Amino acid sequence: METREFNVDLHIHTALSPCASGEMTPEEIVGRALEKELSIIGITDHNSAGNVGAVWESAKGTKLVVIPGMEVETREEIHVICLFNTLNAALEMQEFVYTHLPSIPNKPDIFGEQVLFESSAKKKTCERMLLTSTALPVEEVVSKVKKMDGIYIFAHVDRPSYSIISQLLFIPENLQDAAVEISPKANPQEVKEKYPSVRKMAMIKSSDAHRPTDIGTGGTIICMKEPGFRFLQEVLTGKQNNNIIFK
Amino acid sequence: MRLGDIVKRLDLKIESDTENMDNEIISGYCSDLLSDVMGNVRKGSIWVTLQTHKNVLAVAALTDVAAILITGGAHPDQDMLSKAEDEGIPVLSTSISSFEIVGRLYEMGIRGMRRGD
């Protein structure tokens, strides 16, 4: 099958995530992504897809493919990147996640602002605290994403916190039919040597961008026929890593 | 102290089928970080945690804990319980918090000895 190479960054936060910079507006994200010659970006705010629509709007008319998603925090404090084929699916997941989030109001002066963009001119604040665990065990998050035919990726598994490895010590077999993400500076070989349970899984790097300059620093190229969700899904649930190149 | 006596006095729920109620509890450990437990828990301890993922059993089996006590009203799922049966490690639960249950265990004479203490 004839494939082409596409630069991807599947883990980018907007100003909705309180820990992300206020500069992470839809226009800024799209602008930077195009500058960095990214073909596909994943918009993954903490426990919410509230700004995906706005980023998608900003990317209209360009060649940039915006994948709707979020970074869900499980009960065990594991971060899971959840990506979906449509905005509606991401919003459905958001509703599901919201019903399992505690109702705590955010404290912007401690955690940062949570800015929702209804359009490039109109913004409002998301009141509920997004930077916390849901009551959902990791298996339940995964099972929901699978039911919705989405993609799940265990975020930054090389990090000492919020990683499935730091929280559970290894990835159980029943969760290995997906991908893992490592930090931009991590060494893929070293990670595989250190953690046997990731060896059979697809491995990518993402920026986990919280500031504009972070975007695209993951340096991951995926070989696919077309830059689309289903092709991405095939690569990320496949057992081989030959379709994934690190720059 | 005999596990069965602890279960009775603290009104703990027995979640697993394995009823090793004669297990001798020699110390206690309270932690929700699996890596921390792996490094510190003493063989024969009662491990108090709110974690319910089945990997808890992997750590418990490796470190030879005598019982796992799940707190705060959380309950182990079927996966966790099946592993518990395989390993022969009793899993108990309580609706009260870790802090409170540890206090009551302490009052009964259980001390927090770690491996290497």
Tell me the per-residue pLDDT of B3-13, one tens digit each, with 9 for 90 and over.
Answer: 999 999 999 99
Q: Alpha-carbon torsion B42, B43, B46, B50, what sign?
A: positive
Q: Residues of A with CB below 8 A from B77's CB?
A: 137, 139
A132 interfacial to chain B (CB closer than 8 Å) = no
Residues 6+ apart with CB under 8 A from A8: A38, A39, A40, A41, A42, A204, A218, A220, A221, A222, A232
Place of tokens 């099958």: A1
Residue A109's Cβ-side half-sphere holds a number of Cα atoms within 13 Å equal to 0
Closest chain B C-alpha to A171 CA, distance in angstroms: 9
pLDDT at B116 (0 to 100)? 86
Quick check: A168 and B38 CB within 8 A? no
Predicted local distance difference test score (pLDDT) of residue A96:
98
From chain B, pick out residues whose CB is under 8 angstroms from the CB of A139: 53, 77, 79
Interface mutation vs chain A, best among B31, B33, B52, B53, most A CBs within 10 Å: B53
pLDDT at A122: 83
A236 φ/ψ angles, rounded to the nearest 5 degrees = -80, -15
Mean pLDDT by 10 residues, chain A (247 residues): 92 97 97 98 98 96 98 97 98 98 94 88 92 96 97 97 97 94 97 96 97 96 95 85 87
CA distance A121 to B71: 48
Q: Does B52 touch chain A (CB under 8 A)?
A: yes
Q: How far apart are the first and last CA of chain A?
A: 23
pLDDT at residue A80 in the model: 98
What are the angstrom distances between the C-alpha of A72 and each of A49, A135, A175, A204, B113?
A: 10, 11, 16, 18, 36
Interface confidence (ipTM) of the complex: 0.89
Q: What is the distance between the alpha carbons of residues A171 and A40, in angstroms, rounded to a whole number?
A: 27
B58 in contact with chain A, both atoms CB, cutoff 8 A: yes
CB–CB contact A170 B55 (8 Å): yes
Q: CA separation (Å) from A189 to A194, A195, A245, B1, B116?
A: 9, 10, 13, 48, 34
**A166 touching B (Cβ < 8 Å):** yes
* Interchain contact, B38 vs A172, CB within 8 Å: no
Residue A135 in contact with residue A97, Cβ under 8 Å? no
The answer to whether A76 contacts B35, with C-beta atoms less than 8 Å apart, is no
**Cβ atoms of B87 and B112 closer than 8 Å:** no
Degrees, nearest 5: CA angle A53-A152-A137: 105
- Report yes or no: A140 at the B interface, CB cutoff 8 Å: no
Distance CA A48, CA A17 (A): 8
What local confidence, expressed as pLDDT, does residue B89 receive? Answer: 95
**For residue B113, pLDDT beyond 90:** no
pLDDT (tens digit per residue) in B34-61: 999 999 999 999 999 999 999 999 999 9
Cβ within 8 Å, pair B34-A167: yes
The rounded mean pLDDT for chain B is: 95
